[in-house]
Structures are given as structure tokens and as C-alpha cells.
Structure 1
Amino acid sequence: MLQARRKVLATILAIWGVAATAEEVDLLAFGDSLTAGYGLIETEGFVPQLRDWLAAQGHEVRVVNAGVSGDTTAGGAARIGWSLTPEIDAMILTLGGNDLLRGIDPAVTRANLDTILSEAEAHGVSVLVVGLRAPDNYGPEYKTAFDAIYPDLAEDYGALYEPSFFAGLGEDDPREARQYFQPDGIHPNADGVRRIIEALGPRVIGLITGAE
């Protein structure tokens, strides 16, 4: 009788264990048009492709598209509080591109991103900070100040860090990378998004497995 009870208990615990590992993770993709999927049909955008890629790797993740085209870090700081709804476990932060396009003072960008990360910390949400690099034509002082924002803040908050959103596009060779962009030269095409996710995906898995 005792042995039978032990077997039943072991079965119950095994079922609970499977249920726990299969529990869906809620991931907030918080960014601008790069996250929103600007210029692409819905299934080709960053969020749907990321969700499908994660599923193919065996991870059940609900990816919430919190990308707003044209948004700056100031806009992100203004909406982060209500974007972090109670079910959110983790967040990918990809903001700053529109700050660059507008030439916003890097100190302002840093302060806004600090606000976003502080809010995530207060909500107990794990974060993957995805950086951007300023172009050389902004001058060395601007570039140095801007490029340092993302690694500095990731270290301050103990967040995961990926240096560049475009790492998967061969960005060191502009001629090579051009084929992965839409005609505007700013937003990736569907194939570009696929390559971005292949490069970024392992970092996202590290984020969500920590969240699990």
C-alpha cells in the first residue's frame, strides 16, 4: 500500500513539474517602428517572427507588441508604467533610434532609458537591453556618449545586453547589409527581420528562461 501511494505521489509531482515547465511566458517587446514591424505585413514583423522562432525552439511565449512607430525614449518613459501589466514576466527594450534621427542629447536619452529600466525593476520584470550605435557623422563626442548608454545602463540594472539590434545583418559591410532593408534604408525587410531574430534569439531565450 505504501509503495502504491508513493507511485501516485510521484506521478502527481511529475505532472505538476510538466505543467510548471510548460507555463507560458509573457514577453513585452517594448520599442519603436523596428519592433512594431513598420512597412511589413503582420506575419513578417519582428514580434510574429520572434514568437514563431521561439516556438520552433520549444518555448511557449506570448510576445506582446509594444512597438510604437516614431516613438522616442521620452515616449517610452511616458508609457512604460501602464505597459508593464501584471502578467508581464520579461521585456525586450529596443528604443533610441528616433532619438538618434532627431539628434537628441545623449544625456536625455540616457535619463529616459534609466526611467524605463527603473520602472521594470520596480515591477520585478527581467530585461534584455538591445543597443544601437550612433553613426560617425554625429561626431566623436556624440557617438561616444550615445554608444555608452546601453552597456552602462544594462550593467547598472543587471540586465542582459545585446550591443546592436542589427547585428545579424552584417552591419560592418554596408553593401552586404543593404539587401536586408526596405527602400528607406532604415527598416529591415522580412528577410532582414529573420536574420535579426536568428542573431538575437539566443539572448531572448536566456531572458525568458530566467523569467521562467
Structure 2
Amino acid sequence: MTTFGRFSIAVAIGILATVSAAFAKPIRIVAVGASNTQGWYVGKQGAYPAKLEALLREKGVNANVVNAGIPFDTTAGMLKRIDSDVPKGTDIVILQPGGNDRRFLVTKEQRAANIAAMERRLRDRAIKSVVYDDEIPPQYYAFDFIHLTADGHAFIASQLLPRVLAMIDRRAGVASPRSRD
């Protein structure tokens, strides 16, 4: 084969790879939580699910992050709605249980059992999950010390990004659908 022939094949393969990546099914992520997932004070576009979607897209990941946050919800409520909020075809779920359990006097043991049950249901459906129950530094809270500021939502999105990217890498098998930095 001539050098021109090899070059033409390489160009064709590159074009096909680019076209197939452009039409690849997006990664579907659902964020389940309460008011801080929903975006209390900052709105859905200012909430961490939207910010995470933007960060993923900056990394070249075709992802849709659905915001399934419901103000005042507890882990018991999240457990009741996990199946309806997470449709078939979902790849990853972010569980952000928040602090309403403490406000509504749910025991630590029941909270842990609810989170474990949600993880189990998702695993049974072959859906990866991330539980974001990390301590959030106080400077990221609004005046009520319950809800997050815009910077707080950006902080959570930045904390979730490497975890979600690692799950996408594992889901893809070997190589990530994102560009390597």
C-alpha cells in the first residue's frame, strides 16, 4: 500500500471516530437529593448538578445531569422515589442525602440503612452510584447555615468531578470518552 493510501485510511478512520463520538449516546447522570441538590437560593442552573454537567462537558464528556432534588426530603423519601426518579438508561446516580434526616429526627442507623438500600437498588439495576455525604466547609453555606451558596455548589461539583470521571472510565472499559489532560 502506498503512503498516500495509508494516509487516506488514517484520515477516514479519524473522521469516523470523530463522527461516532459526536453521535455517541450521552452519559446519563441523575442527582438525587433534597434542597441543596435542587438549588435552594441559586436555582437549578446554579445548583451542583448543572455545574457538574458543565465541568464534564469542559472535559469533553457528553453527559446530561438530571436534577432530582426535592426540598425537605429525607433519605426515606429518596428511597421511596429512587426507582421513579432514576429511569432506565441511567448510567450513574449521585446520592446527596443532605441534613434533613437530622432535622426530622431520623436515627443515624436508619439514615445509613436508607442510603444502603438505595445503593443496593441501583446496583441491582447495574447503575453506578456516588454518595456525596462529605463535610462541606462552613464558608460555602448561606446565611441560614443550611443551604449552599453558588460557591458551595461549585465546590460540590468540583469534588464530584473526579469521582464521576473515574466511573465513566470504568464504564468505558479501558479508555475514557473524554480527552486526556
TM-score over 0.5 (shorter chain):
yes
State the aligned residue count. Answer: 170
1:24 — aligned with what?
A: 26
Instruction: Tell me if 1:130 matches 2:132.
Output: yes
Deviation at 1:206, TM superposition (A): 1.4
Deviation at 1:10, TM superposition (A): 8.9
Query: 1:33-72, aligned counterparts within 5 Å?
Result: 33-72=35-74
Contact kept, 8 Å, 1:94 with 1:165, in 2: the verdict is no
- Distance between the aligned counterparts of 1:45 and 1:9, measured in 2? 43
> Given the two structures, how large is their TM-score scaled by the length of structure 2?
0.79
Contact kept, 8 Å, 2:38 with 2:44, in 1: the verdict is no
1:157 — aligned with what?
A: none
1:145 — aligned with what?
A: none
Report SS of the residue matched to 2:65: strand
Write the letter of the residue equivalent to 2:122.
Answer: A
Contact kept, 8 Å, 2:36 with 2:98, in 1: the verdict is no
Query: 1:162-201, aligned counterparts within 5 Å?
Result: 164=134, 166=136, 171=137, 177-178=138-139, 180-201=140-161
Distance 1:16 1:42, change over 3 A: same
Write the letter of the residue equivalent to 1:113.
Answer: I
Deviation at 1:42, TM superposition (A): 3.3
Contact kept, 8 Å, 1:120 with 1:127, in 2: the verdict is yes
Instruction: Tell me if 1:93 matches 2:95.
Output: yes
Structure 2 unaligned residues grouped into runs of 5+ = 173-181
Which has the higher relative contact order, 1 or 2, with Cα contacts under 8 A spaced 6 or more apart? 2
Write the letter of the residue equivalent to 1:203.
Answer: R
Contact kept, 8 Å, 2:91 with 2:127, in 1: the verdict is yes
- Distance between the aligned counterparts of 1:8 and 1:194, measured in 2? 44
Sequence identity (%): 29
Q: Deviations over 1:85-122 (max 9, x none)?
A: 11201111111421122231122112211221111011
Contact kept, 8 Å, 2:37 with 2:48, in 1: the verdict is yes
Report SS of the residue matched to 1:28: strand
Report SS of the residue matched to 1:81: helix
Q: Deviations over 1:132-151 (max 9, x none)?
A: xxxxxxxxxxxxxxxxxxxx
- Distance between the aligned counterparts of 1:72 and 1:46, measured in 2? 19
The structure with the greater share of residues assigned to helix is 1
Query: 1:75-86, aligned counterparts within 5 Å?
Result: 75-86=77-88
Write the letter of the residue equivalent to 1:200.
Answer: L
